[in-house]
Structure 1
Amino acid sequence: MNARATKIDPITKLEVSSDKTRPLTDAHQAMRVSHPDDIEWSMLRYDGQTAKMMFHPTKDDPTVPNAGLVRYEAGSGHPLHSHYFAQVWYILEGTFLIDGAIYGPDTMIFHPDPHFEHELTTQTGGVILYVQYMGPTTRQGPIYDGRFNVTERKKLEDETTAY
């Protein structure tokens, strides 16, 4: 008897393909591509900030990260606030004062979950690449709606610091 055993992927619980020109299982997804030149700058929740979020979670695809560029005008920033998701920042342009230290281009900053963000200000303006993703311990995803796609900003004193 030469019956071939079917291999099951331990994570997806789906059959593993024996065809080396196909993905491991039917659950494995292809890459997604976005370019900032194809996206307009949109209003962000804090004054002096705009964003090009090249990926963001949706109702149909809630585990997609918020990933894209945030542009800060000179003199802008954000107050101390907290989040339940995790995120990584990579400073592309400008200098930023965060917790008494100046950070500039090629600096990477990691915020675990849950985390707080110190007050941030910039005198030069600049651009930061943001990647916000579901917290591995909190299981809370980043917030896109009402943060990165606002049509009108709230007054700072009315803006939440909770997430």
Structure 2
Amino acid sequence: MAAPEKTLEHQGPEFVHTDERDWETLRWPGQRSKMLFHPRPERPTEPNAGLVRYEPGAYHPLHQHDFAQVWYILEGEFQIGDKAYGPGTMLFYPDPHFEPPLSTRTGGLMLFVQYPGPTTGGQPIYDGRF
């Protein structure tokens, strides 16, 4: 006897305006975020999605993640690894990955989307900050 088919309930879209969130301090100096969506116990597959504002001189060192992420540079110039990138650049980090050092002399703004790693199952970080 075949197992009964599982029926999924379709979910409607959610809308959030950036004015509905406050800027939060990130773990790296000179960075603040407005995470518009983030995983919660009742919605563990929801992405971390929002904005990160970088002050001039902000940086982060080499580190690693088990989740996947996409970044889109909206403002500013960023040195990521050994190359410079500016507005209109989109980056994709599959899971797992090492994130190279990042720095900015100009400051800037990026859209971030982090989601559970399809390969690793690693969850995005959000604990009052990301």
> Normalising by the residue count of structure 1, what TM-score does the alignment of the two structures yield?
0.75
| Preserved contact between residue 38 and residue 46 of structure 2 (Cα < 8 Å) | yes
* Structure 2 counterpart of 1:81, from 49, 60, 63: 63
User: How far apart, CA to CA, are the structure 2 residues paired with 1:117 and 1:110?
Assistant: 11
Residues 103-134 of structure 1: CA deviation (Å, up to 9, x unaligned): 00000000000011000000000001000000
1:99 shift after superposition: 1.3
Of the candidates 72, 76, 80, which is equivalent to residue 90 of structure 1? 72
Selected match of 2:113 from 131, 134, 139:
131
Q: Which has the higher contact order (CA 8 A, sep 6+)?
A: 2
Matches within 5 A, 1:35-114: 35-114=17-96
| Residue 146 of structure 1: how far off its partner (Å) | 5.5
Please say if 1:119 is aligned against 2:101.
Answer: yes
What's the Cα RMSD here? Answer: 1.3
Question: Which structure: greater strand fraction?
Answer: 2
Q: Could you tell me how far 1:38 is from its partner in structure 2? A: 1.5
Residue deviations 1:44-65, cap 9 Å, x none? 1111000000000011111100
Question: In the alignment, residue 90 of structure 1 is paired with which amino acid?
Answer: Y
Q: Give the structure-2-normalised TM-score.
A: 0.93
Unaligned runs of 5+ in 2: none
Q: Which amino acid is the alignment partner of residue 54 of structure 1?
A: L
Measure, in 1, the Cα distance between the counterparts of 2:19 and 2:118.
Answer: 31
Higher Cα Rg, which structure: 1
Please give the per-residue CA displacement for 1:128-154, whole angstroms capped at 9, x wherever unaligned.
100000000111110101643xxxxxx
